[in-house]
Structures are given as C-alpha cells and as structure tokens.
Amino acid sequence: MNEKPRDAEFVQIKKIGNSLGLILSKDILSRLKLKEGDKLFIVEQTERGVRLSPYDPKHAKAMEIARRSFSIYADTYKALAK
C-alpha cells in the first residue's frame, strides 16, 4: 500500500510560521491553473484520503443547499437509497 499511484506527486507538510502548510511545485500549480491566494475545497474521502478542488462560489452555494436538504429530509433520502 506504500506504492506511489501513477500520475501522483507527493508533497510534504511543513511548518510555515505558526502554521503547517503544503508547498506545491510551480508545475502542479500551472497544471491546476492555481495561483497564490486561490482558495481550495478540501473534501475528506474514505481511508484518510482528501480531494482538493478549486473554490467555486456557485458550487459552494449548491453544496450548502444540498447539505441543508440532506439534513431536513434525511429519512426520505435513506428510504430512497434502499
């Protein structure tokens, strides 16, 4: 399980001032079209994984609406999932 996935790049958590951060290479930033100051969503995955995606205000609003719906209609969603 310690194999590096194909097309994956490792980054290391480093101390930056009083915080911890990740340093991304210029190549990664270029490919992802990211620049200093951009915001990222962090979505926790199963098995200690995370997915990073660029911040999108429309997506953030849609996710908030979905979370509210899932909270209000939890029983309905559970019944539909059967």
- Condensed to tens digits (0 to 9), the pLDDT of residues 10-30 reads 888 999 999 999 888 898 889
Predicted pLDDT at 74: 92
**By residue range, what is the domain housing residue 60?**
13-81
In a domain, 28, yes or no: yes
CB atoms within 10 A of CB 71: 9
Q: What is the pLDDT of residue 6?
A: 57
In a domain, 18, yes or no: yes
Averaged pLDDT, 31-57: 84
- Contact 44/50 with Cβ under 8 angstroms? yes
Q: Is residue 57 part of a domain?
A: yes
Query: In this structure, is residue 46 part of a structural domain?
Result: yes
Overall domain count for the chain? 1
pLDDT band at 65 (very low <50, low <70, confident <90, very high): very high
In the chain, which ranges are continuous DSSP H helix? 26-31, 57-72, 74-81
pLDDT higher than 70, residue 2: no
